[in-house]
Amino acid sequence: MVEAYRQEEKLLGMELINGVLKIRVQSGGCTKSDHFRLETYEAGLQAGPPYLVVLYRTEPDNCGEIVPEGLLLEFKFEDMITEEGTFPKPGDGIIVENIFTVGAV
């Protein structure tokens, strides 16, 4: 299946607390958490931890509302499943790929 829309998301902030990855994303007022998808990879030298997590927006937010603080999304470790069927456990490292915007957008 080819996705009609998929874009790496620009993150406004993130933190990992008690097994929950909290990520703040841009929003024009219509963003919903189900507009996103995680891809998780085992990034260790011989597979396993740390895990690389990439967040993709699968539906654009074309609304014009100004939401300067963005939207906070929460993902549990169990939401970060790799193709191998593994996911991070407490104490495993997590690397979140972040895309920065420089200059005018």
So what's the pLDDT on residue 7?
Answer: 76
Sign for the pseudo-dihedral over CA of 8, 99, 88, 18: negative
Query: Looking at per-residue confidence, does 81 or 97 come out higher?
Result: 81
Mean pLDDT, residues 12-17: 88
Q: Would you say residue 10 has pLDDT above 90?
A: no
Note the pTM of the prediction, 2 decimals.
0.77
The token duo for 81 is 């499943």
* Distance from C-alpha of 58 to C-alpha of 8, rounded to nearest angstrom: 9
Residue 100 pLDDT level (bands cut at 50, 70, 90): low
